[in-house]
């Protein structure tokens, strides 16, 4: 009984003695630091600790990266609407489902809007910003800013961004609505509308063995992304559909889109006038999508026309060995 009664007193006495020792040691170190370390060195050391522990660090994710759309930006665009919470002060709402006016709107992040995310004990603040283009034919540049404590920078790179990418991939795989995109040459951008087509592999009129073969091929393609990367090949596959109108080519494309849950990019290749324009159009598409090139058999004439546009043409008043690249000269 005496031992139980004296234990709390012994603990308190030991704790006070230890606290006094630590305090005395701290005061001694502080005195030595102030007396023997030059003021400039003290300020520099203090600034290092202050910058590391209390200052912020900002990641900037622009919508374009090396002349193509930034996949990290796209992943963030899909991820952030899932992190809307009580601290969110503004949201962007809209719907492109022209066939259903009562469809619930989708949420997005407005320019200047902030989203606060918490991950593994870190507080992360997202802000969408926009830089207005000085050229009328160029789009405004959008970019996301991610602000965190500087001490979390490495953790954000190693754990948080992979988490964002994985979540975005899952959202793409389970998305409820699909879009079909057409390219607007005047705006130099893809424009989308909701894609709703009743065609599925269940309703498709096709030989059962051929239908099963196509589905197996699609399943194998989706599962072999790592194989394509390890082999140094682009993760893509292609199908050539041919036949007279009304034989089900468009229905098969719709069935594939509904089966894979992939968006469709509908490209009229006849309107493409140069290889540079074609490259710009293709690099603006997203992963996990279908590029539909209709009437590709007509593209040979387009290529021939482009070649004629670039063919040297004799100009009046010039010597026979002088040429102009401008067909109007």
pLDDT at 46: 62
Could you tell me if residue 26 is inside a domain? no
Could you tell me if residue 287 is inside a domain? yes
The whole-angstrom distance between residue 299's C-alpha and the CA centroid of its chain comes to 31
Residues 266 and 217 in one domain: yes
Residues 170 and 206 in one domain: no
The Cα 122–Cα 135 span in angstroms is: 40
Residue found under tokens 């050391």: 45
Instruction: Indicate the residue among 139, 174, 209 that finishes a domain.
Output: 174
pLDDT at 53: 57
The residues, any chain, with a CB within 8 Å of residue 127's CB and separated by 6 or more, are 112, 113, 114, 144, 145, 147
CB neighbours (10 Å) of residue 256? 21
Banded model confidence at residue 299, pLDDT cuts 50, 70, 90? low
Q: Regarding beta strands 141-149 and 122-131, do their DSSP bridges make them parallel or antiparallel, or are they unpaired?
A: antiparallel
**Is-contact 55 147, C-beta < 8 A?**
no
pLDDT at 276: 85
Task: State the residue range of the domain holding 226.
Answer: 189-300
Instruction: Indicate the residue among 120, 148, 174 that finishes a domain.
Output: 174
Residues 218 and 279 in one domain: yes
pLDDT at 42: 63
The Cα 191–Cα 212 span in angstroms is: 33
Residues 165 and 250 in one domain: no
Q: 110, 119, 96, 260: which is closest to 179 by C-alpha? A: 96
Could you tell me if residue 16 is inside a domain? no
Banded model confidence at residue 325, pLDDT cuts 50, 70, 90? very low
Residues 200 and 110 in one domain: no
pLDDT at 3: 46
Mean pLDDT to the nearest integer, 17-23:
75
Could you tell me if residue 316 is inside a domain? no
Residues 72 and 151 in one domain: yes
Tell me: pLDDT of 327 over 50: no
pTM, 2 dp:
0.62
Could you tell me if residue 2 is inside a domain? no
Mean pLDDT to the nearest integer, 66-73:
86
Provide the percentage of residues in the chain whose pLDDT is more than 90: 36
**Is-contact 42 33, C-beta < 8 A?**
yes
Residues 169 and 214 in one domain: no
Residues 113 and 64 in one domain: yes
> Which tens digit of pLDDT belongs to each residue from 111-166?
999 999 999 999 999 999 999 887 766 778 899 999 999 999 999 999 999 999 99
Structure tokens belonging to residue 68: 């193509």
The Cα 25–Cα 30 span in angstroms is: 9
Residues 268 and 161 in one domain: no
DSSP codes of every residue in 98-126: TT-TTSPPEEE--TT-EEEEEETTEEEEE
pLDDT at 52: 56
Residues 167 and 196 in one domain: no
pLDDT at 305: 54
Structure tokens belonging to residue 162: 């992979």
pLDDT, averaged across the chain:
81
> Which tens digit of pLDDT belongs to each residue from 176-231?
789 999 998 877 788 888 898 999 999 998 999 999 999 999 999 989 888 888 88
Could you tell me if residue 31 is inside a domain? no
Residues 120 and 152 in one domain: yes
Residues 216 and 256 in one domain: yes
Please count the structural domains in the chain.
2
Q: 156, 175, 196: which is closest to 72 by C-alpha? A: 156
């Amino acid at each position: 009984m005496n031992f139980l009664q004296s234990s709390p007193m012994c603990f308190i006495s030991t704790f006070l003695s230890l606290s006094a020792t630590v305090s005395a040691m701290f005061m001694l170190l502080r005195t030595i630091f102030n007396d023997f370390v030059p003021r400039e060195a003290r300020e520099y050391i203090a600034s290092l600790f202050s910058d590391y522990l209390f200052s912020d660090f900002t990641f900037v994710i622009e919508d374009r990266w090396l002349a193509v759309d930034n996949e990290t930006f796209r992943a963030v665009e899909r991820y952030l609407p899932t992190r809307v919470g009580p601290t969110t002060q503004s949201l962007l709402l809209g719907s492109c489902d022209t066939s259903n006016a009562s469809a619930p709107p989708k949420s997005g992040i407005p320019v200047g809007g902030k989203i606060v995310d918490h991950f593994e004990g870190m507080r992360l603040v997202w802000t969408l910003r926009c830089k207005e283009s000085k050229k009328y034919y160029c789009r405004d540049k959008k970019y996301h800013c991610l602000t965190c404590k500087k001490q979390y920078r490495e953790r954000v790179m190693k754990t948080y961004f992979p988490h964002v990418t994985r979540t975005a991939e899952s959202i793409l795989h389970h998305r409820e609505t699909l879009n079909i995109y057409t390219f607007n040459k005047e705006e130099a951008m893809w424009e989308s509308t909701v894609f709703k087509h009743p065609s599925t592999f269940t309703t498709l009129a096709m030989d059962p063995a051929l239908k099963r073969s196509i589905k197996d091929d699609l399943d194998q393609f989706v599962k072999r992304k790592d194989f394509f990367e390890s082999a140094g090949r682009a993760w893509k596959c292609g199908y050539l559909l041919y036949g007279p109108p009304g034989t089900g080519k468009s229905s098969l494309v719709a069935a594939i889109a509904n089966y894979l849950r992939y968006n469709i990019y509908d490209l009229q290749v006849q309107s493409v006038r140069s290889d540079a324009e074609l490259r710009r159009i293709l690099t603006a598409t997203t992963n996990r999508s279908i590029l539909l090139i209709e009437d590709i058999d007509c593209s040979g004439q387009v290529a021939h026309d482009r070649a004629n546009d670039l063919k040297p043409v004799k100009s009046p008043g010039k010597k026979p060995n002088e040429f102009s690249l401008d067909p109007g000269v």
